[in-house]
C-alpha cells in the first residue's frame, strides 16, 4: 500500500487502483472521440424489441431461468428478466437469441 502525502492530508491507496481509474478514463475518452457505440465498446448486451411478441437479445452469457412466464438471461453487466405469457426461445446462438410470446415486461438488473 502506498501513501500519498499532501500538505495536511494523508490518503491511502492501493497501487493498481490509480492505473485502473486512468485506464477507464482513457477508454471513455477513446469511445467518445472515435464515436463508437457504447454497447459495442463496453460489450454490453443489446435488447431489441420488435412489437409485443418478439425480443432479440445480443451479447448474452447464459440463460439462468426458462419458464413459459419468465426468462432470465445473464449479461456481461447484470441480468435481464423477460416476463410474459407463452414465452419460448425458437432459436439461439452463443451470441444472439430470439424470444417469442406475449411479452409484458423487460426488467434489467445490475449486479
Cell of 85: 405469457
CA distance 55 to 51: 8
pLDDT digits over 57-90, tens only? 998 999 999 999 999 999 988 999 999 999 999 9
Delimit the domains of the chain by residue range.
9-40, 44-110
The three-class DSSP label of residue 74 is strand
Q: Which residue from 61, 64, 96, 94 is spatially nearest to 82, judged by alpha carbons?
A: 64
Please state the rounded mean pLDDT for residues 26-55: 78
pLDDT digits over 13-36, tens only? 555 666 677 777 777 777 677 776
Cβ(82)–Cβ(54) below 8 Å: no
The pLDDT score that the predictor gives to residue 10 is 47
Q: Is 92 left (phi over 0), alpha (psi -120 to 50) or beta?
A: beta
For domain 44-110, which CATH number applies: 2.60.40.2000, 3.40.50.150, 3.40.440.10, 2.40.10.220?
2.60.40.2000
For residue 95, the 8-state DSSP code is S
Q: How many residues does the chain have?
A: 111
Cell of 90: 425458437
Amino acid at each position: 500500500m502506498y501513501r500519498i502525502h499532501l500538505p495536511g492530508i494523508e490518503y491511502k491507496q492501493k497501487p493498481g487502483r490509480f492505473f485502473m481509474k486512468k485506464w477507464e478514463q482513457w477508454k471513455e475518452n477513446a469511445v467518445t472521440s472515435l464515436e463508437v457505440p457504447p454497447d459495442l465498446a463496453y460489450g454490453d448486451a443489446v435488447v431489441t424489441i420488435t412489437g409485443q411478441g418478439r425480443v432479440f437479445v445480443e451479447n448474452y452469457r447464459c440463460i439462468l431461468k426458462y419458464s413459459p412466464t419468465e426468462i432470465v438471461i445473464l449479461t456481461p453487466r447484470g441480468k435481464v428478466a423477460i416476463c410474459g405469457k407463452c414465452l419460448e426461445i425458437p432459436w439461439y446462438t452463443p451470441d444472439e437469441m430470439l424470444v417469442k410470446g406475449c411479452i409484458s415486461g423487460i426488467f434489467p438488473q445490475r449486479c
